[in-house]
Amino acid sequence: MTFIVGDNCINCKYLDCVEVCPVDCFYEGPNFLVIHPDECIDCALCEPECPANAIFSEDELPDDQQQFLELNKDLAEVWPNITENSGGLPDAEKWDGVEGKIEHLKR
């Protein structure tokens, strides 16, 4: 099982989750983070650290966010690994809680 970064991370990307990951399985895009499913050890340390509540256990991923399972897998293969919190995006608070942000995902 793995954890998945979902829709609410888009344009927020707080990065608090990155620092607690014991296996460095986060990958960073321009305005979104993903978790590499083959590297995640299902420790659950990242989920409570996310201020945007954008991280879900695979078995608790909401039905309307199922596409993020494949997105996390695919984007983790092409985006660079991130291991430190370098600060979130400047407009994170404005975007936190906005629904349907998938159209704003920058690859």
Ordered by start, the domain boundaries in the chain are: 3-83
Q: Which two tokens stand for residue 40?
A: 């995640």
Q: Which fold has domain 3-83?
A: Alpha-Beta Plaits (3.30.70)
Q: What is the mean pLDDT of residues 84-88?
A: 87
Note the maximum CA span of the chain: 32
Looking at the chain, how many residues does it have?
A: 107
Amino acid type, 9: C
Location of structure tokens 């199922």: 66
**Confidence class of residue 74 from pLDDT cuts 50, 70 and 90?**
very high
Confidence of residue 88 (pLDDT cuts 50, 70, 90): confident
**Per-residue pLDDT, 104:** 96
> How far is it, in rounded angstroms, from Cα 107 to Cα 100?
16
Question: Does residue 1 have a pLDDT over 90?
Answer: no
Q: In angstroms, rounded to a whole number, what is the distance separating the alpha carbons of residues 59 and 35?
A: 15
Mean pLDDT along residues 58-71: 96
Percent of the chain with pLDDT over 70: 100
State in Å, rounded, how far the first CA of the chain is from the last one: 25
